[in-house]
Amino acid sequence: MTERIEKLGKSVIVYDDSLVSQISAALFDPLSWDAAVPVPGVAGGRGTTLFVQYEGQAWALRHYHRGGKLMKMLRDRFLWTGWESTRPFREWMLLSHLQKLGLPAPVPVAARCLRLGIYYSADLITQRLPGVTPFSSWLQRDGIDEELWCAVGRCIACFHAARIFHADLSAHNIQVDPAGRVYLLDFDRGRIMPSDGRWRDRNLLRLQRSLRKIRNNSNVIFGADQWQAFLDGYQPSFATASQPE
């Protein structure tokens, strides 16, 4: 990975020049991609991800949107406090760090911050994970076996062992490929924690709430047995810094 930072007009872009032959603000414009496939946010998620093809690569282009009370007022605007503190730059750098650790997360391609006075808007391009579907979709299938729950537990343990905090650890951001390999998506507002601590327990409780919400809103099986299978995978592998094959 070769990191480059360029300023193009009102945009500042960080990118991997081994993946992008010619950097341009047009790469972040949905209108530039005639064959883009839109993927709406799951479970009411904000915004839309576009799946695009670039020189034989499969990419995911995501525009950042606000949540919470400011969503209707500012939508996709964030307060400018300097390039290095913007959400796309921080997520891109975290994803770069995850790749160096060999953790199962998307490869960062490019991130853009577009300055708009005291605000900015933002976009992120990552390599698309091949063949994955959200774990929340797998829950809709009949009889998820115990090994998949264990695999999800091992995956989360890998990140926690590396002190990686995922700000929105949910069943939607856990992705599973046809071979049962597990990945994490969406590291917006994620960070490297300075030390071990109770943040890991809070992270797991957030995931558990996500699973209970899906169970309550649809006909899926999630209870003490499934959570124990998850913990069986999580606890023994906690000290492992990379995902088992």
Residues designated catalytic:
168
146: its two tokens: 């115990």
- 232, 242, 162, 180 alpha-carbon torsion, rounded to 10°: -50
77, 121 Cβ separation under 8 angstroms: yes
- Among residues 194, 196, 207, which one has the least CA distance to residue 161? 196
Q: Residue 16 and residue 111: Cα distance in Å, rounded?
A: 10
List, in order, residues 6 or more apart from 56 with CB less than 8 Å away. Answer: none
Label residues 37-56 b or e (16+ Cβ within 10 Å = b): eeeeeeeebeeebbebebee
- Among residues 78, 81, 157, 95, which one has the least CA distance to residue 129? 95
Q: Is the CA virtual torsion 97, 200, 70, 48 positive or negative?
A: positive
For residue 64, the Cα-to-chain-centroid distance in whole angstroms is: 12
Quick count: other Cβ atoms within 10 Å of Cβ 5?
A: 12
Give the type of residue at 241: A
